[in-house]
Amino acid sequence: MHSSNSFVREAVRWAGAGAIIATIAIGISFAAYAAEPVKDFSLWMKELKQEAENKGIRPEIISAALDNVKPIPRVIELDRKQPEFTLTFQDYQKRVVPRARVEKAKARLKENKVLLEAAAAKYGVQPRFIVAFWGIETDFGRVTGGFKVVDALVTLAYDGRRSAYFRKELFNALKILNEGHIAPDDMMGSWAGAMGQCQFMPSSFLNFAQDSNGDGQKNIWSDKSDVFASAANYLASSGWKGDQTWGRPVELPKDFDLGLAGLKTQKRLSEWQELGVRRLGGRDLPTRDLMASLVLGDGEKGPPFLVYNNYRTILKWNRSTYFAVAVGTLADRMVGR
């Protein structure tokens, strides 16, 4: 699990995709990090284009995607930034799951009922959870990132700090273009290459994106049927159980052994009940004897949650306690839970 510090470092990565986290101190020039590149950029690009051709990318795609690309200083700044401060669990929840977003989520759930139910029927992921991911990642498709994905990935692949990872993602992006799902100028995303309304990295796109409407394109940028199906397919493929929820906030008895907290410990709900764990308001836990772990939002300060299999699946999307609880909370609140 993530501490507040490590979470905010991760969460800020998603800030370009709509989850606004914190004010960031930049003040660092691109030149400071690119003063000693491994190779001259023009030579590096020439070799990259040759490798792309060797991998079967069509010459016209290589030209359209790469001919006029230059490293983007802002991308390097964002890759290097450090938060000035950390957010508490409560602060994060207030920012990411405010009442306005809950109301918007309720409206989107209703407006897209037909598409969401189709995705739910095929992949076994409840509509409210699809909408929760959509809302937290990109504010329901409103904020999907302002960078050309190829340009951003070229910058990060050339930079050297995590070049091997971003080089693989760059070739994945070129493969997506080669397959005709999107035009180079329309392939927009975050500074780190996360794309579309569900913020898939190119590798996730290739593994999970779906052509829900059968038009021959997997369009996670502007086709909501593809967006919903792709998100649901990701979750289903990662172990989502459509007959379960994510977890729930709970109350702990005095002198509870906090050593039992953490995902390494799993007990049946009946066992947690025997240990004195209760729903909010002191009510008994559900009688369905699911396996659950106890998670604390802010370390030993709580608040406590009993979480099930689907919580673990949310962590495969974004390995952050703050994020996973926010998804579950938004999903619950839009249906009055």
Closest Cα to residue 329, out of 280, 258, 283, 277?
280
pTM of the model: 0.87
> Is the pLDDT assigned to residue 13 strictly greater than 90?
no
pLDDT reported for residue 32: 40
Q: Mark 139-153 as b/e (b = at least 16 C-beta within 10 Å).
A: bbbebbbebbbbbbb
179 is a catalytic site residue = no
pLDDT reported for residue 87: 85
pLDDT tens-place string over residues 263-283: 999 999 999 999 999 999 999
Annotated catalytic residue, options 53, 103, 111, 137: 137
Question: What are the structure tokens assigned to 275, written together?
Answer: 């240990």
Mean predicted confidence (pLDDT) in 130-146: 97
> Is the pLDDT assigned to residue 167 strictly greater than 80?
yes
Give the C-alpha separation, 40 to 227, whole Å. Answer: 39
Q: Domain boundaries in the chain?
A: 247-307
> Is the pLDDT assigned to residue 6 strictly greater than 70?
no
Give the C-alpha separation, 337 to 331, whole Å. Answer: 8
pLDDT tens-place string over residues 26-71: 233 334 444 444 579 999 999 999 999 999 999 999 999 999 999 9
Whether the Cβ atoms of residue 220 and residue 198 lie closer than 8 Å to each other = yes
Give the C-alpha separation, 155 to 291, whole Å. Answer: 45
Mean predicted confidence (pLDDT) in 215-242: 98
pLDDT reported for residue 302: 80
Give the C-alpha separation, 148 to 18, whole Å. Answer: 16
